[in-house]
């Protein structure tokens, strides 16, 4: 009930902001955001910076790699880690542009910026996402204490946008966070998997059997959070698990 009320208030506030705020780019503040051809809060020039054409990416974790690297067993960023998901789709690396866009979106009172980033991910990576054959999309949930201080759940917003573009059901209540964890950025890289251990539970686990799940979050660094969620889904009988995020973080600063 509390999450529904919070979601309603957030949606209402977002609508009010949309009505009173000028259609200017949220990054550069100069050009009209409608120049992108579909409604987001970013102009065409900034959209190009936020949505770089994928070059050489790890097949397993989506990190940028060299042109001659073989990644069937992972890359230097993920090799040796026991990741429970098969692949990652991301909008881009956590560079200056995506970092600024994500931070401003996560701490905004309005979900408009985060929804715009989710829309960019869904539209610019539609082919990659479609090829996964996903039939259920699940965002990483927040613990109830976190929901008290955050205006919205970024993963929820992003997942809704992907679901809208792919025409795949988005199940926002299937995965629950049952144990409070320390923020991943405050935990050493070696402890991040332990920090997420047994943090999630699945409601109605029987619906997961045979499903191809897309787990959605805002960023992926070590992969510990999405991996723990994938572990729960695979234990419940999911056929495959993949992850989708706005940004892939390589320097462990997020």
Q: Is 67 helix (H, G, I), strand (E, B) or coil?
A: coil
**Length reported for the chain:** 254
Sheet with 240-248: strands ordered across: 88-93, 240-248, 212-220, 136-139
Report the alpha-carbon distance of residue 27 to residue 40 in Å, rounded: 12
Mean pLDDT calculated for residue range 197-205: 88
Contact between 28 and 17 (Cβ < 8 Å): no
Highest mean pLDDT among 62-66, 149-153, 215-219: 215-219
Highest mean pLDDT among 2-16, 99-113, 178-192: 99-113
For residue 66, the model assigns a pLDDT of 86
Mean pLDDT calculated for residue range 175-183: 79
Tell me the average pLDDT of the chain.
85
Highest mean pLDDT among 16-25, 61-70, 101-110: 101-110
For residue 35, the model assigns a pLDDT of 45
Phi, psi of 30 (to 5 degrees): -110, -55
Q: What is the pLDDT of residues 239-250, one digit of tens each?
A: 999 999 999 998
Taking the domain 52-248, which CATH number applies?
3.40.50.2020
What is the DSSP annotation of 112-169? Answer: HHHHHHHHHHHHHTHHHHHHTT--EEEEPPPPHHHHHH-SS-HHHHHHHHHHHHHT--
In the chain, domain spans: 52-248
Report the alpha-carbon distance of residue 142 to residue 176 in Å, rounded: 8
């Amino acid at each position: 009930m509390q999450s529904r009320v919070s979601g309603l208030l957030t949606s209402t506030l977002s609508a009010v902001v949309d009505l009173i705020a000028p259609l200017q780019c949220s990054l550069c503040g100069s050009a009209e955001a409608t120049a992108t051809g579909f409604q987001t809060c970013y102009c065409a020039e900034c959209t190009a910076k936020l949505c770089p054409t994928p070059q050489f990416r790890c097949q397993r974790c989506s990190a940028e790699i060299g042109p001659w690297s073989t990644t069937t067993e992972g890359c230097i960023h993920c090799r040796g880690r026991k990741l429970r998901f098969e692949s990652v789709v991301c909008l881009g690396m956590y560079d200056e542009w995506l970092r600024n866009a994500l931070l401003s979106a996560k701490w905004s009172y309005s979900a408009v910026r985060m929804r715009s980033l989710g829309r960019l991910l869904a539209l610019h990576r539609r082919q990659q996402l479609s090829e996964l054959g996903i039939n259920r999309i699940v965002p990483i949930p927040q613990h109830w204490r976190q929901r008290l201080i955050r205006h919205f759940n970024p993963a929820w917003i992003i997942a809704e946008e992907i679901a809208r573009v792919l025409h795949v059901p988005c199940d926002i209540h299937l995965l629950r966070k049952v144990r409070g964890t320390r923020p991943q950025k405050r935990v050493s890289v070696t402890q991040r998997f332990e920090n997420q251990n047994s943090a999630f539970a699945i409601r109605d686990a029987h619906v997961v059997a045979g499903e191809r799940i897309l787990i959605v979050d805002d960023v992926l660094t070590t992969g510990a959070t999405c991996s723990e969620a994938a572990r729960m889904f695979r234990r419940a009988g999911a056929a495959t698990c993949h992850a989708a995020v706005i940004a892939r973080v390589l320097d462990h600063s997020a």
